[in-house]
Chain A
């Protein structure tokens, strides 16, 4: 059973460009979470999605960030007009239920130049 897949593993964007991060959950998991790990700030929750629905986006910045989890295909975290402060590791996690343990992907390391 493949684990949580994330791509790309590394992404370099210039200021003002768009970044798209993809996450495929473990087989049978319909709950997806996105977290951000900033240097010196630890891991912070961003958004929780089920298929086609955003359940909790209380950790998402109000502007430029959006997430989706369509009926078919991976979950996508989209960052528009990136700024240097967006440089971080972005982790996706999935779970079979809405509570309990979550299984993490390897992360996407975004660098904004």
Chain B
């Protein structure tokens, strides 16, 4: 079975500072990896995905993430955050070989950007 751990439940940061949101996963099989963002009372928006290829993936809104297979991590980074980045961020995995592409989510990290 797969599991996802987001190591920080809340991350406060000042505007224009860099940020890293950590995600580790556990799986005995290969996985696809995703980061989603959820603004208050809204659905989830796909930020970026790792399916194969380069381990450094770039997403929307200036975010990027690096897949580290040996450390089973997929940390999300942004070099300079804005107030509008305040939201909840979810890391998720799904098995690459399966008859179901269901996503297994971490508990989420609330990013609080302060002026």
Tell which of A13-21, A69-77, A99-107 binds the partner: A99-107
A99 touches B103 (CB 8 A): no
Contacts of A93 in B (CB 8 A): 44, 103
How many A-B pairs with Cβ below 8 Å? Answer: 70
> In this complex, what residue of B is CB-closest to A56?
B100
Number of interface residues of B (CB under 8 A): 26
Cα of A99 to Cα of B51 in the assembled complex, Å = 10
**Interface residue SS majority, chain A:** strand
Contact B99 A56 (CB under 8 A): yes
The count of residues in chain A whose C-beta lies closer than 8 Å to any C-beta of chain B is 29
Interface set of A (CB-CB < 8 Å, partner B):
4, 6, 31, 33, 35, 42-45, 48, 55-56, 58-59, 91, 93, 95, 97-107, 109
**Chain B residues at the A interface, C-beta cutoff of 8 Å:** 32, 34, 36, 41-46, 49, 51, 90, 94-96, 98-108
Sample of 7 further A-B pairs with CB below 8 A, known A35-B103, A43-B103:
A6-B43, A43-B108, A44-B105, A45-B102, A48-B100, A58-B102, A102-B46
